[in-house]
A and B are shown apart, each in its own frame.
Chain A
Amino acid sequence: MFESLWLQLQHPNTQWVLAGTLLLGTASGVLGSFVLLRKQSLIGDAMAHSALPGVCLAFLFTGQKSLPFFLLGAALAGLLGTFCIQLIPRLSKTKEDSAIGIVLSVFFGVGIILLTYIQQQGAGSQSGLDSFLFGQAASLVRQDIILIAGISAVLLLLCIVFFKEFTLITFDLAFAKGLGIPVRFLNGLLACLIVCAVVIGLQTVGVILMAAMLITPAITARYWTERLTGMIIIAGITGGVSGVAGTLLSTTMKGMATGPLMILSATLLFLFSMICAPKRGLAAKAIRLMRLRRRTSREQVLLAIYEQYEKNNLCVTVESVRKKRRLSPSLCLKALNDLEQERCIERIENGIWQITSKGIEKGYHTALKQRMYEVYLMHEMELANIESDQDYFDPDRLPRETRERLYSLLKLYGRMPERRKASHDAEKGQIANEF
C-alpha cells in the first residue's frame, strides 16, 4: 500500500491535487473559525446546498463545463441563499433555523430540477456536474486546481489583511459600530469570503459535506486554545491536514470519493481533540474533577477529625468519620491515608488513627475558615460588601472589621474552634484506656 502511495506521490497530477486540497482545507479552516464564533455553522451548509442551482444555471447558459463559470454561478446562488436566510427571520416570524432549512431544501430541489433538465436535454455529458454532489478531487484538471489554489490564497490574504476588523465584528458588534467601522461592509465581505470558500470546496468535497469543512476544523481548534489567533492557525492546520489525508486515502483506495474521506479525517482529529486536549478535553476535565473530589474529601475528613477532637474524642476510625460525613468507605480510607502521609494524623493501631499537633493546627485553620464562611452565608446581607465564593474565601484577606465581626458572630453561636494544647502523652494514655 505504501509503495503504491509513493508511486502516486511521484505523479505530478497527485501533487497538484494535494496542493489544492491543502490550500482549500486551510482556507476553509481559517474562515470556519469566524463562522463558528459567529454561531453561523449551519449557514455554511445552506450556502453549499444553494450553490447547486447556480452551477446548473451556469452550465445551461454557457453550455460548457468550465470551472470559472461554475464557481461564479455557485457564488451568486450562494449569496442569494445567504441573503434569503437573513431576510426571512427579519420580515416574518419564521425563526432562523427554519429559514436555513427552507433555503437549503428549496434551493437544492430547484438544483435537482435543473440537473434532471440538463440530463434529459442530453446537451453534453453532465458527469462534471455529478461530481459536485459528493466531490471527486480526481476529476479536477490542472487549471482547475490552479484556480482553486489561487482563490484560497486570496481568501487567506484577505483574512490576514482584515484580521483586526473581523475579530472586532465577531466578538463585539456594538463596539465596532461605536468605533465607526463600516460594519455592514465587513459583514458582507466576510459572507462573500465564506461563500467563496464553500464554492471552491464543492468540487473536491461535495455539496453535502462542505459544511463540515467549515465546522469541524474550527471546533477542533477551539479545544486547544482560548485565543482567536491560535484558533485560526490550528483550524487552518487541521483543515489542511484533513484535506491532504482525505486525498491520500482516496488515491490509495479505489472508487472512493474524496469528500467523505476528508470529512472523516477531520472528524477523527476532532474526536482526538475532544478527548485529549490539555485544558478543555474530556480527559483533562475528568482528572481535574477527580483531584477536586479527592481534595474536598480530604478537607472534609480533616474537619470531621477536628470536630471529634473538639469533643475530646481522639480515636479516629473510618466509621467514626463516616458518622459525621457521608463518604464512601473507600474514599474515606483514601483520605485518611493521605492525611497520614501529610502527618496530620498518625496510626495507632490498624484502622485506628489519632490526630497529631500538626493536624490540630491544620484542622483549626480549616475549621475556622469553614465556619467563618458559614457565618458569612448566614449574614450575607449584612456583609454584602465582600463578594466571595467558597473556593476563594480567605479569612486573612478580609478587612479587619469584617473579620472581627465574623469572630464575634462565631463566638455568639459557640462555633469558634478552640486550640487546646493538650500534652501528647496524656492523650495517648487516654486512648490506651479507651481500648
Chain B
Amino acid sequence: MSFEAWIIATGVLVGVSCGLIGTFLVLRSMAMLADAISHTVLLGIVGAFLVTGSLDGIYMFIGAAATGLLTAFLVQLLHSKGVQSDAAIGVVFTSLFAIGVILLSVYGANVHLDIEHSLMGEIAFVPWNTVTVFGVDIGPKAFWMLASVLVLNVVLISVCYKEFKIASFDPQMALALGIPVLLIHYVQMGMLSLTTVASFDSVGAVLVVAMLIVPPAAAHLLTDRLLYMLILSALIGGLSAVMGYFFATWLNVSISGAMAAMTGVCYASAFLFSPANGVITKKLRTLNMQKERAG
C-alpha cells in the first residue's frame, strides 16, 4: 500500500474506534471526561517512559490505561467529596496534564516525544514507523495498534451490548436489575483510555477529543436508535478522516487539525439538515404546515 493509503487507513481507524466508544460517552453526558482523559494520557506515556525507559507500545498502553482510569477515579472521588462534577473534571485533568508537561520538560531531552507533537499529532509520519513480522514488513505500527484496539472495542461492545445500552439510558434500572453499573463505567473508561492512547500518537490529544465527541453527537441528531447511532457515528468518523486528509493535502496544512475541522463540518450539516432534528428542516416543516393551513 502507498503511504497515502496507510495514512488514510489509520485516520479511518481512529474515526471508527473513537466513534464507537464516544457514542456511550455522549449518551451518558460524559463528553468532557473524554477531554480530560485524552489530556491526561500524556502523563501516562511520560510516566511509562520514566519507569521503563522505553517508548514501546505495550508500556505506553499500560501507562495510559492506568492514568485514564486514575483520572476517572479521581474525578469520581472529588465529586463524592462534594466538589461539583464539572469543576472536579477541570481540576483533575489540568493538574495531571501540568505534571505531565513538567516531567516532560525535565526529562524530555532524551524522549522522542514533544508536547506539540502530542497535542497535534503527526499522522503524516505514521507510514515510516513499521512493524516486521517473520521478516515481512506488514505496515505501520500505529495502524496495527489501532486495528487491535478497534477489534477489542467491537468485541466488548457486541458482548456487553445489552448491558451498555441499559446502563447508558437508565442506570437506576440497570442497578435494580443487578447489572454492575460501576464496573461498566470503569470498563468503558478503560476502553476510552486504550482508544485514546492508540490514536494519540498519530493524531494528538485534541483530534482524539474531536473524534470522540463530534461524530457521536452528529449521529445522535440523525437517529434515535442506539445501534444505528453506533454505525452512523463510526461512518461519520471515518468519513471526516478521509475528507480531512484530502483537505489537508490540498492546502498543505496539519492533517489532524483538518480531520477535527471536518468532524465539525459533519456536525454542522447534521445540526442544520438532519431530517428529524435539523434546524433548517424544522423551519421548512413549519413553513409548509403554515402554507397548508392557509391553503
Contact = CB atoms under 8 A, between A and B. Distances in A.
B26 interface: yes
Given A88-B271, A101-B32, A133-B119, A219 B257 contact: no
A263 B277 contact: no
Interface stretch (A112-120, A172-180, A331-339, A427-435): A112-120
Contact of A106 (B29, B115, B253, B264): B264
A395 interface: no
A98 B31 contact: yes
A228 B204 CA distance: 40
A264 interface: yes
A243 to B, nearest CB: 14
Contacts of B35: 42, 45, 101, 104-105
Contacts of B98: 209, 212, 259-261, 263-264, 267
A88 B218 CA distance: 12
A208 B96 CA distance: 12
B206 interface: yes
B160 interface: no
Interface stretch (B80-88, B137-145, B146-154, B170-178): B80-88
A112 B277 contact: no
A134 B214 CA distance: 25
A101 B90 contact: no
B277 A108 contact: no
Interface string B32-75: 10110001000000000000000000000000000000000000
A116 B256 CA distance: 11
B156 interface: no
Contact of B279 (A92, A97, A264): A92
A260 B101 CA distance: 7
Nearest to B89: A42
Contacts of B116: 130, 133
Nearest to B224: A93
B253 A94 contact: no
Contacts of B81: 274, 282
Main SS of the interface on chain B? Answer: helix
A116 B254 contact: yes
A329 B260 CA distance: 63
A111 interface: yes
B24 interface: no
A134 B82 contact: no
A414 interface: no
Contacts of B206: 49, 105, 108-109, 112
A270 B87 CA distance: 12
Contact of A260 (B102, B120, B217, B279): B102
A220 to B, nearest CB: 9
A117 B251 contact: yes
Contacts of A261: 98, 102
A106 B91 contact: no
B103 to A, nearest CB: 10
A102 B214 contact: yes
Nearest to B92: A267
Interface of B: 26, 29-32, 34-35, 39, 81-84, 86-87, 89-91, 94-95, 97-99, 101-102, 105-106, 115-116, 119-120, 206-207, 209-210, 212-214, 216-217, 220-221, 248, 251-254, 256-261, 263-264, 267, 271, 277, 279
Contact of A102 (B83, B99, B120, B217): B217
A209 B99 CA distance: 11
A26 interface: no
A280 B82 contact: yes
Contacts of B271: 88, 91-92, 94
Given A98-B213, A106-B264, A113-B254, A212 B91 contact: yes
Nearest to B254: A116
A367 interface: no
A39 B86 contact: yes
17 contacts: A36-B84, A40-B86, A41-B87, A42-B35, A95-B26, A97-B32, A101-B34, A101-B213, A102-B213, A106-B261, A109-B260, A113-B253, A113-B257, A133-B115, A215-B87, A216-B94, A256-B105
A245 to B, nearest CB: 13
Contacts of A123: none
B97 A209 contact: yes
A265 to B, nearest CB: 10
A211 B88 CA distance: 12
B105 A255 contact: yes
B252 A120 contact: yes
B207 A105 contact: yes
A367 B102 CA distance: 61
A270 B258 CA distance: 38
Residue in B87, B116, B209, B258 whose Cβ sees the most chain A Cβ within 10 Å:
B87
Contacts of A102: 213-214, 217, 264, 267
A74 interface: no
Interface string A117-129: 1001000000000
Given A106-B210, A109-B260, A115-B254, A101 B115 contact: no
A231 interface: no
A218 B87 CA distance: 9
Contacts of A36: 84, 87
Contacts of A274: 81
Contact of B221 (A39, A93, A110, A115): A93
Contacts of B34: 101
Contact of B260 (A108, A215, A257): A108
Given A101-B32, A106-B214, A212 B256 contact: no
Contacts of A49: 206
A430 B96 CA distance: 69
Name the 10 nearest CB pairs between A and B, nearest first.
A109-B260, A106-B264, A112-B257, A212-B94, A105-B210, A101-B213, A260-B98, A267-B95, A116-B254, A215-B90
Interface in A23-46: 36, 39-42, 44-45
A45 B33 CA distance: 13
B76 to A, nearest CB: 15
B224 to A, nearest CB: 9
Contacts of B221: 92-94
A106 B220 contact: no
Given A105-B263, A114-B253, A259-B98, 7 more contacts: A95-B31, A97-B32, A105-B35, A105-B206, A112-B206, A112-B256, A116-B257
Nearest to A267: B95
